[in-house]
Amino acid sequence: MMRGPSPNLVLPVFFLFFCFTASCSEQRRVYIVYLGQHRGLRTGQEILEDHHSLLRSVKNSEEEAVNSVVYSYKHSINGFAALLTEEEATKLCAMEEVVSAFPGEARWSPHTTRSWEFIMQEEGLRGRETEWMTSKAKLGTEVIVGVVDSGVWPESHSFGDAGMGPIPDRWKGICQEGDAFDSSNCNKKIIGARYYLKGYEAYYGSLNRTYAYRSPRDHDGHGTHTASTIAGRVVPGVSALGGFAGGRAAGGVPLARLAIYKVCWPIPGPNPNIENTCFDADMLAAFDDAIGDGVHVLSVSIGATGVPPKYSHDGIAIGALHAAKHGIVVACSAGNDGPALATVSNLAPWMITVGASSIDRAFDSPVLLGNGVTIKGQTVTPSVLKGSEFYPLVYAGDAVVPGTPGNVSGQCLPNSLDAKKVRGKIVVCLRGSGLRVAKGLEVKRAGGAAIVLGNAVANGNEIPVDAHVLPGTAVSSDDAITILRYINAARRPSAKIGTARTVLGVTPAPVMAAFSSRGPNRVEPNILKPDITAPGLNILAAWSESSSPTKLEDDHRSVKYNLYSGTSMSCPHVSAVAALLKSLHPDWSSAAIRSAMMTTAAVVNTRGGALTDAAGQAAGPLEFGSGHVRPNHASDPGLVYDASYEDYLLFACSSIGAQMDPSFPCPETSPSPSDLNYPSIAVSDLNGSVTVRRTVTNVGRGPARYRVTVAEPTGVSVRISPGVLSFKRVGQKKSFSVALKARDTPSKVYVAGSYTWSDGAHVVRSPIVVSVA
| Active site positions, annotated | 149, 222, 568
Phi and psi at 48, nearest 5°, equal -60, -40
What angle, 0 to 180 degrees and rounded to 10, lies between the N-to-C axes of helices 315-325 and 645-656? 150
* CA gap 520, 684 in Å, rounded: 9
- The DSSP letter of residue 493 is -
180 contacts 247 by C-beta, under 8 angstroms: no
Q: Judging by beta carbons within 10 Å of its beta carbon (0-12, 13-18, 19+), is residue 713 exposed, middle or buried? A: buried
User: How many residues does the structure list for the chain?
Assistant: 773
* CA gap 451, 556 in Å, rounded: 19
Q: Where are the beta strands (DSSP E) in 263-328?
A: 264-266, 276-278, 297-300, 302-304
Query: Which residue, 662, 645, 561, 660, is CA-closest to 241?
Result: 561
CA distances from 517 to 71, 345, 368, 472 (A): 32, 8, 34, 28
The three-state secondary structure class of 754 is strand
The three-state secondary structure class of 158 is helix
CA distances from 263 to 184, 207, 331, 393 (A): 21, 13, 16, 45
Phi and psi at 453, nearest 5°, equal -100, 115
Phi and psi at 654, nearest 5°, equal -80, -35
Within its chain, how far is the Cα of 679 from the centroid? Answer: 20
Handedness of CA 81, 87, 88, 90 (dihedral sign): positive
* CA gap 738, 499 in Å, rounded: 56
Q: What torsion do the CA atoms of 301, 306, 307, 312 make, to the nearest 10 degrees?
A: -40
Please count the other Cβ atoms lying within 10 Å of the Cβ belonging to residue 586.
Answer: 11
Residues 6+ apart with CB under 8 A from 217: 151, 152, 153, 154, 178, 179, 180, 181, 185, 544, 546
Q: What residues form DSSP beta bridges with 330?
A: 298
* CA gap 169, 225 in Å, rounded: 27
Query: Which residue, 381, 314, 472, 466, is CA-closest to 6?
Result: 466
Query: Which residue, 318, 360, 300, is CA-closest to 77?
Result: 318
Side by side, which strands form the sheet with 724-727? 681-686, 763-772, 750-758, 704-711, 724-727
